[in-house]
Amino acid sequence: MTMSLPEEDLTCPVCCDIFTDPVLLSCSHSFCRSCLKRCWDTGLRECPVCRKRASKSSPPCNLALKNVCEALLQVRRQSSVLGEEMINCNLHGEKLKLYCLVDKQPICVVCQSSKLHKIHDCAPIEEAMLDCKDELALSLKSLQDKMNHLRTIQKASADMFEFIKSQALETQRLIKSQFEQLHQVLYQEESDRLAAVKKDEEEKISGMKKKIKELSAEVLSLIQTISVVQEQLKEDDMVLMKNFKDTQDRCKSTDPGSDDMSGLLIDVTKHLCNLKYAVWEKMLAHIDFTPVTLDPNTAHPCLILSENLTSFHYSKQPSYCPDNPERFHISAEVVAMTALGSGSHQWVVETGSNQDWLLGVVSLSVPRNAELSARPENGFWTLCSRDGEFRAMTSPPITLTLSRPPKQIKVQLDYNKGTVSFFDPAENTLIYAFIHTFTEPLLPYFYTQSSHPLRIMPEKVLVTMLHQ
């Protein structure tokens, strides 16, 4: 309550000090009881402030004001005691003039002579205070640096949170797009096969209609012949004998129709035999298999990857992506998603008109936020094209002489044998081969600063049936 009123509102207008036993006049002014008595002892019984005459009765005590003033005085007394305790030794009552550098606390001269601090190094309190302020200032700066670092991480985390959501939406969109393509292939195959059954049905029905028509004509002809024979049997003997030859010839000319009914039904087996396998085998023509898939979480912001993660090119306008540890931050590099730690692997990269690239493999542990030369001692085994020259990135690099610039480069890794080989697949000629004993998994590696794309070529899928 004392903090809600300024101190001048708690001061007597007569003695200019905090009220002591304040009384309240009818004019609403308050005074110390003793101060008001001294004023009235001069002769006039009026308010010392507004000069309004006061009643002859004794003015009442202003209890509310009295309580506030007593609380303020109590606070002042406590502050005074605390101040004394802060500058004086609690044990000896002497002023704190020294600072113990061992125990990190202020002491008096008596404390310095005691057993507790006798062998400790001490400094004057003023000198130690400057050192403490300097040390706290350094600690404050360190804390502020930590706070700034945490805020940076916090912002990066918030950005990554939003990026993850956009990643999920984009990945779902691409999955739906690819499944829609597969669905379209299935729907078209279904439509073609249903149309084939319909066509087969129409052909078989047309053949049956023709067959039925022929049989109907034969039946009608036979009915007429039977009728003629029956009429002849009713004629006189001589008439019968005269017409016998014609009647007999007519009977012989009525040959029975063919009763061969084979091949008239729909060949259901042709339409249903291994249907799912046949459709799946046909779908292979619409499906690409790429032995190496790029990892977008490692791509430098200036590299633009295709939707199927098999090609990329350089852009001067970097795209937004989080500053995650897996990403290359210094140069325009990207690696594949699968680490290769054994066996033999190969992939073909279409370079086309791109003349600024590095291709090969890189160690899994290569740092992503440092600029390193692409050398085997740094974990790189690569082939380089720059300014119309081809170099094997050894230490130092070796300039290669090629009969013609290849449009494709085949990279072949045999991890167990310790070889990384580069071929021109058009002529199946070896360009260069590294030999090294690998001690950790490798990642397919790519670099470019060209707007012309590099593309990992798909491979054909072969289906082999195993007969048991």
pLDDT at 5: 63
Tell me how far apart the alpha carbons of residues 382 and 331 are, in angstroms, rounded to a whole number. Answer: 15
Helical axes 237-253 vs 125-234, angle rounded to 10°: 160
pLDDT at 1: 41
pLDDT at 258: 61
pTM assigned to the model: 0.64
Domain segments of the chain as ranges: 2-86, 161-285, 296-456
Tell me how far apart the alpha carbons of residues 434 and 413 are, in angstroms, rounded to a whole number. Answer: 10
pLDDT band (50, 70, 90) for residue 184 = very high
Q: Return all residues near 414 (Cβ < 8 A) that are at least 6 apart.
A: 344, 421
125's enclosing H/E stretch is helix 125-234
Residue 412 burial by CB count (10 A; 0-12/13-18/19+): exposed, middle or buried? middle
Q: Which residue has the tokens 């600072």?
A: 99
- When mean pLDDT is compared across 109-118, 332-341, 395-404, the lowest value belongs to 109-118
**Is pLDDT of 405 > 70?**
yes
**Is pLDDT of 56 > 90?**
no
Give me the mean pLDDT over the 344-364 stretch.
96
Q: How far is CA 24 from CA 1, 54, 196, 369, 441, in A?
A: 20, 11, 114, 79, 93
Give me the mean pLDDT over the 45-64 stretch.
87
* Cβ(14)–Cβ(34) below 8 Å: no
pLDDT band (50, 70, 90) for residue 341 = very high
pLDDT at 40: 87
30's enclosing H/E stretch is strand 30-32
Tell me how far apart the alpha carbons of residues 436 and 419 are, in angstroms, rounded to a whole number. Answer: 6
- Per CATH, which fold does 2-86 belong to? Herpes Virus-1 (3.30.40)
pLDDT band (50, 70, 90) for residue 101 = confident
- Each residue of 429-441: pLDDT tens digit? 999 999 999 999 9
- Each residue of 126-168: pLDDT tens digit? 888 888 888 899 999 999 999 999 999 999 899 999 999 999 9
Give me the mean pLDDT over the 360-383 stretch.
94
**Is pLDDT of 321 > 80?**
yes
**Is pLDDT of 19 > 70?**
yes
| Mean pLDDT rounded to a whole number for the chain | 89
237's enclosing H/E stretch is helix 237-253
Task: Looking at the structure, give the CATH architecture of the domain made up of residues 296-456.
Answer: Sandwich (2.60)
pLDDT band (50, 70, 90) for residue 374 = very high
Q: How far is CA 452 from the centre of its chain?
A: 27
* Cβ(153)–Cβ(323) below 8 Å: no
- Each residue of 60-98: pLDDT tens digit? 999 988 989 988 888 877 776 665 556 778 777 788 788
Return the structure tokens found at 307.
């939707």
Do strands 30-32 and 22-24 pair parallel, antiparallel, or not at all (unpaired)?
A: antiparallel
Task: List Cβ<8 Å contacts ≥24 apart for 398-403.
Answer: 398/432, 400/431, 400/432, 402/431
pLDDT at 284: 83
- When mean pLDDT is compared across 211-225, 226-240, 251-265, 357-371, the lowest value belongs to 251-265
Q: How far is CA 432 from CA 69, 392, 397, in A?
A: 96, 7, 12
The string over 280-298, giving b where at least 16 C-beta atoms fall within 10 Å of a residue's C-beta and e elsewhere, is eeeeeeeeeebbbebbbeb
Tell me how far apart the alpha carbons of residues 277 and 57 are, in angstroms, rounded to a whole number. Answer: 118
